[in-house]
Amino acid sequence: MEGLQDSKDREKPLGIDLFCEVIDNYGDAGVCWRLARQLASERHCHVRLWIDRLPVLQKICPGIDAGLERQEVDQVDICVWKPDMMPADIGQVPDVVIEGFGTRLPDSYLNQMAARAVKPVWINLEYLSAESWVDSTHLMKSPHPRLPLTKYFYFPGFTGKTGGLIREAGLVESAVGFQSDRRNAMAFLSSLGVACREEQFIVSLFCYPLAPVQQLLETLSWSEQPVLCLIPEGTASQDVGRFIHQQPKAGTCFQDGALTVQILPVIEQRLYDRLLWASDLNFVRGEDSFVRAQWAGRPFVWHIYPQEENAHLDKLDAFMALYQQGLMEEEQQAFRRFWKQWNSCAGQGGFTESWAGFRAILPELKQYAGIWRKKLTEQPDLATGLVRFVDSLR
């Protein structure tokens, strides 16, 4: 779509309503907040973010007042979304309406969309997947059965046939600069209240409760190299609590053998990005931290959001197949074995062996992570792709 008019060249900013229903806590809110900010700051759009659980967003954006129904933060208008919204609550429907992850819009809002003389571009922003069918489904349209409206399915993804990934301007350059000197990591962690030694292997751990966390921590405690494991408060609290023999809360520090565990408060997104940059290995979950770990250019392990009947495992397999294409066969085997182990139920045997195989290939994975990151930058970022697609329909 080269040559399309950029949003910053319009006579007036492109108006966008972005709806976010929080299901996976920080994941849904995190993706929508990053996208809203980038559309406003870099694409010069007027963005209203409608979100149903404002306190969740406040955790990763402390500048938000969870007691206000409407406010502006980082050039984004933030509105509390209620299912029974009336036309007066909505105001004027803008040029573009985005449903975050299949959110169902209120009937009152749909009716106002249909009442516009020029119908808004209606986009369903889908969940991220590396499955092959995504390439052919991206930008598929679906007419509303009752109203004169058409919805377009927009898929983030890892190939040029998808909508790309959220990537702010200068993100990769900032990460590379930060990682060029280990002292940057030490200084950053110190600013979070973490006493870190240069010889420690730094692990960040963010996962769902079903991951074999206790097995990981026990295994790390036997490591030959000193390990520092940084865990955001609330992450797998029961498993972490059993290991450290107390209720984990921000500031808690515990040592067992070679392992030091420190519980961090939930931090804002920009700081979390730097935590990923500072770590030697990142355990991440869901979608937002999963993507940010790839931009960090460090080895990572993904805990995918569990779904009924293990439907999520197809998505896991699809990404592993795509990601590991640049690895040697033995590296692929070690990589797949540990990722599978991490996404299986806690208590499955062979954890120590699968970790040992994965730990052995971390030097190769570190080099490869940089190659993969560079490959991802060859396609447009998600916000740019969205705006170009809207322009192609107008």
Catalytic residue among 28, 126, 288, 381: 28
Predicted confidence at residue 22, as pLDDT, reads: 86
The 10 Å Cβ neighbour count of residue 247 is 11
Which residue type occupies 72?
E
Report the topology of domain 13-167+380-393: Rossmann fold (3.40.50)
Asked whether the whole model's pTM tops 0.85, one would answer yes
Per DSSP, helices labelled H in the chain are 26-41, 54-60, 87-90, 107-115, 133-137, 171-179, 182-191, 213-221, 237-244, 269-278, 288-296, 312-323, 329-342, 351-360, 362-376, 382-393
Residues 262 and 228 sit within 8 Å (Cβ to Cβ): yes
Q: How far apart are CA 111 and CA 85, in angstroms?
A: 12
With residues binned 3-state (H G I as helix, E B as strand, rest as coil), the percentages for the chain, rounded to 5, are 45, 20, 40
- The class level of CATH for 171-376 reads alpha beta
DSSP letter at 120 equals P
Q: State which residues of the chain have pLDDT below 50.
A: 1-5, 7-8, 346
Q: How far apart are CA 267 and CA 177, in angstroms?
A: 22
What's the pLDDT tens digit per position in 34-50? 999 999 999 999 999 99
Q: Do domains 13-167+380-393 and 171-376 have the same CATH topology?
A: yes
**Residue 287 bears catalytic tag:** yes
**CA neighbor of 138 nearest in space, from 301, 320, 382:** 382
Q: How far apart are CA 165 and CA 155, in angstroms?
A: 9
Predicted confidence at residue 5, as pLDDT, reads: 45
Q: Domain-by-domain residue ranges, the chain?
A: 13-167+380-393, 171-376
Which residue type occupies 71?
Q
- The contacts of residue 226 (CB under 8 Å, 6+ apart) are 197, 199, 200, 201, 258, 260
Predicted confidence at residue 312, as pLDDT, reads: 85
Predicted confidence at residue 365, as pLDDT, reads: 98
DSSP, residue by residue, 297-308:
TS-EEEEPPP-G
Question: String of b and e for 101-122 (b: at least 16 CB within 10 Å)?
Answer: bebebbeebbebbeeeeebbbb
Catalytic residue among 21, 126, 287, 381: 287
**Residue 24 bears catalytic tag:** no
**CA neighbor of 293 nearest in space, from 165, 198, 385:** 165
CA atoms within 13 A on the CB side of 131: 15
Predicted confidence at residue 85, as pLDDT, reads: 74
